[in-house]
Amino acid sequence: MPHIIRNAETDSAIARCFSVLHQLRPHLEADSFVPRVRRQMERGYRMAFVEVSGEVVAVAGYRVADNLAWGRFLYVDDLVTDSGHRSRGYGGHLLERLADIARTAGCEQLHLDSGLQRVDAHRFYEAHHMENTGYHFRLDLTAP
């Protein structure tokens, strides 16, 4: 089915992405979603989405950054396809668009983290020529 990939730049476009992104980030709440995304956008976060027949079917949140480990890179914070639209190529098209954005921005690499439990996502990333290069560790600073 024909699709369009757009950037979510207006509050209404950002809000339209909530129901899909909520499937990946269930802790998010609809009433605070747009302000939260806007705060992140002040620090370089961007959101792109795939639209089919006026419906948002896939969403990606990303940022371009530089560090000593990777040089200039595009980091994918969020990448999710609506559960009712998976295995139709929308996530792949969105990932290709992110790679194009990265190349245009002069990035050397594209990175993302994925939870250990997301085995289907790992197969998707590997099918799109991404390699698993390590673990991500965290320290919960709110724990006693």
Beta bridge partners of 98: none
**Between β-strands 46-52 and 55-67, what pairing exists: parallel, antiparallel or unpaired?**
antiparallel
Domain boundaries, the chain: 4-127
Report, as an integer, the average pLDDT of 106-130. Answer: 84
DSSP 72-117: EEEEEEEEEE-GGGTTSSHHHHHHHHHHHHHHHTT-SEEEE---TT
**In the predicted model, what is the mean pLDDT of the chain?**
93
Does residue 72 contact residue 103 with C-beta atoms inside 8 Å? Answer: no
Residue 13 pLDDT > 90, yes or no?
yes
State the fold for domain 4-127: Aminopeptidase (3.40.630)
For residue 119, pLDDT beyond 80: no
Instruction: Look at residue 116 and tell me whether its pLDDT is greater than 80.
Output: no
Q: What number is the average pLDDT over the span 115-136?
A: 81
CA distance 16 to 133: 33
The pLDDT, as a whole number, for residue 102 is 96
Convert the pLDDT of each residue in 62-112 to its tens digit: 999 999 999 999 999 999 999 999 989 999 999 999 999 999 999 999 998
**Phi, then psi, of 76 in degrees rounded to 5:** -95, 110
pLDDT at 136 (0 to 100): 78
CB 44 within 8 A of CB 64: yes
